[in-house]
Amino acid sequence: MLDDITIEAAGLSANRLNRITDWLSEQISSERLAGASVLVGRRGGVAYFKRAGWRTSNSGRALKGTQSSVFFQ
């Protein structure tokens, strides 16, 4: 498993990563996606990890998991 590192240590832009968060929220609120996990790794570590939404569109159960979770439908 990769260690968490700061966005700066990964050489990434916090503003650009926040765009991913905004996009993910929009996809879920508009029901284009039921839920998703997004992980961005660089320089041997995890700089960004977010999960949002539901396991399925009609389950009412929040998407849970860790950085090593794999989801199957």
How do residues 41-59 score in pLDDT, each as one tens digit? Answer: 999 999 999 988 887 767 7
pLDDT score at 72: 56
Does residue 37 contact residue 54 with C-beta atoms inside 8 Å? no
Whole-number Cα distances in Å, 62 to 1, 31, 57: 24, 14, 10
- pLDDT of 6 over the 60 cut: yes
pLDDT score at 35: 87
Strands 35-42 and 45-53: antiparallel
Spatial distance between the Cα atoms of 63 and 66, rounded to a whole number of angstroms: 10
